[in-house]
Structure 1
Amino acid sequence: MLGLRARQWMVVAIVLGCTYLATSAIALTGAWATLHRDPTNAELQRAANAEVARRWEAWPAERVFPGRLSYGPPDGDAEYATRAGIVPDTGCEQGVDPELMTTLRKHGCKAVLRATYVDQLEGIVTTVGVVVFADPWAADRAFKELPGAQGPDGGGAKPALRAAAFPGTASARFDDAARQDRTSDRGGPYVVLTTSGQSDGRPAKAIKKRRPGEPFAAAPQIAAAIARTLSLRSLPDCEKSEWRC
């Protein structure tokens, strides 16, 4: 009788062992298939969006702000703005006027990257700021609440992006008092701001009326180029370290 029971328990143990082995094999097969299958379209979209959102800290500053950017009328010869320098500080509060910071803080500003460009004739200086948000929706809400593109005649541009001067360059005299114009653009989770003035550093309050010929026309073109590059989504390549698929 005891021998019969022992054999019965042995059979039960063998059946259970085979069941566990089969379950483990199925689970391992499923895991292997999951790890080696092609990503779905939704996963590719999420990976592309995440890569765009990381660019502000994953890319070198020189890639965010190229050394030269073209500008000019669509039917005319292109001219080039040259980068005078890049601001190492990326704090939101340090990058914009306090009144503007109120709007940016409300929508979750994460950083403000700044660089300054000088036009080809070295007469106009433009500081460009990339304001970083968590996602495109927060960036869009902040963008819609920003003040108009430019300050009133003779009143300068305020609140606006803070000017950034670099000694030894044509931007050396450009400070907040010299800001005469401001623009804003948006791409993905980024809002791109500009503030411009003259390289001689003359204060905006000394300008009684705006100069003819749109002297600050290069600024929105520079901003658009930077916004476009930062927000242009690439096809995911899961074999490269910059992607998280």
Structure 2
Amino acid sequence: MSSGATPPFDPAPRDGAPGVERPFVTFAEPETYREDTARVRPFRGRPRPRALTAVACVVLGLGLIGGAVTGSWLTGDDTDEPGSRGAFAAAGELWHNVPVDRLFPPTVRGDGAGPGGSDRTWTRIAVAPDTGCKNAFDPLLRQALAPVGCLRLLRATYVDATRSHVTTVGLLFTKADKAAMTSLKARFRKEGLDRRTDLMPRPYAAKGTAAEDFGKAQRASWTESVLTDAPVVVYAVSGFADGRTVATPQPAAEAMKADSTAAVAQAGLGHEARGLADRVERSLRKTVTSATEKPS
């Protein structure tokens, strides 16, 4: 890589470019730790109450410290000793450290993910080459995401079991730290950025697939999730596989309401976007967990 500064959003190839499967690169061997044993001098004589109190405080203190360290590791906080791997840092490397099938499985089961708790199954029909973000988002969404930068963007498009709906799911790996991701998440929540139709993500329409007519005018429902325990933004956008245009798209949160009578909601496209995004996000978290597990 060049030593010069990299713009927040790098050029991306045109849509429809053939997918390129990244080679599998194994994670480094996890570090092992050895606890040194200290020689304890025998205590002579009957302990005094003051001494017993001091010993109890030491034991309690060590227990609290140990609990804090364990809790930090389980929650993925980057407060470990220098040289150890935190979950946040490990997540930021997944775009080139794991095979595409682990991030975007060929088949995704969505038990209870459909309207009324019905089951869903999605089949992957296209994987975009990992790219920058210059041509991957509409200008306003690119501007909203600019504070966290764009390290790499991974996308895949799926079709449902009936082949009537198509959904693109994306993983935007950012250059941000936890503070910046937390700030962006707060802004999305406060300003409702994930509900604005002018901030919908673009689909990936691969030629020769059921999604080849899945363009900007075909976007029907979408969801966006800014993670704070990983430098990643997860999103999904769904539409009809027959290429029909959608005059009034709905964010997934609205389209999933039981009392919604809009065509997008009635077709279950909100459930398609949210269900697939949620399961790809879960797969991402499981991959991070396996990468940062410490040996027993």
* Structure-1-length-normalised TM-score: 0.69
Aligned equivalent of 2:245, options 187, 203, 210: 203
Q: 1:217, 1:114 → 2: CA distance?
A: 19
Matches within 5 A, 1:24-173: 37-38=33-34, 41=69, 42-43=80-81, 46-49=84-87, 50-73=89-112, 76=117, 78-133=119-174, 134-146=176-188, 147-150=192-195, 157-173=197-213
Aligned counterpart, 1:22: none
The separation in 1 between residues aligned to 2:201 and 2:294, in whole angstroms, is: 36
Cα RMSD, aligned residues only: 3.1
Distance 1:77 1:130 in 2: 26
Kindly indicate whether the alpha-carbon contact (under 8 Å) linking 1:90 and 1:114 is maintained by their aligned counterparts in 2: no
CA distance, structure 2, for counterparts of residue 37 and residue 129 of structure 1: 37
Asked if the contact 1:95/1:129 (under 8 Å) is kept, the reply is no
- Worse-matched range after superposition: 86-95 or 196-205: 86-95
Structure number with larger C-alpha Rg? 1
Report the counterpart of residue 256 of structure 2 in structure 1: none
Deviations 1:141-177 (A, max 9, x none): 33343455556xxxxx432211111222211211111
CA contact (8 A) 2:238 2:272 kept: no
| Structure 2, unpaired ranges of 5+ | 1-30, 36-65, 70-79, 250-260
Q: Percent of aligned positions with the same letter in both sequences? A: 29
> Structure 2-normalised TM-score?
0.58
Q: Select 2:281's aligned residue among 227, 232, 241.
A: 227
Q: Runs of 4 or more off by more than 4 Å in structure 1?
A: 74-77, 147-151, 206-209
Contact 1:118–1:124 (Cα < 8 Å) also in 2:
yes
Aligned length: 199
Higher helix share: 1
Q: Go from structure 1 to structure 2 and tell me whether the alpha carbon gap of 1:237 and 1:99 turns closer, same or farther (over 3 Å shift).
A: same
- Specify the SS of the correspondent of 2:281: helix
Decide whether aligned partners of structure 1 residues 210 and 72 sit closer, same or farther in structure 2, where only a CA change above 3 A counts. farther
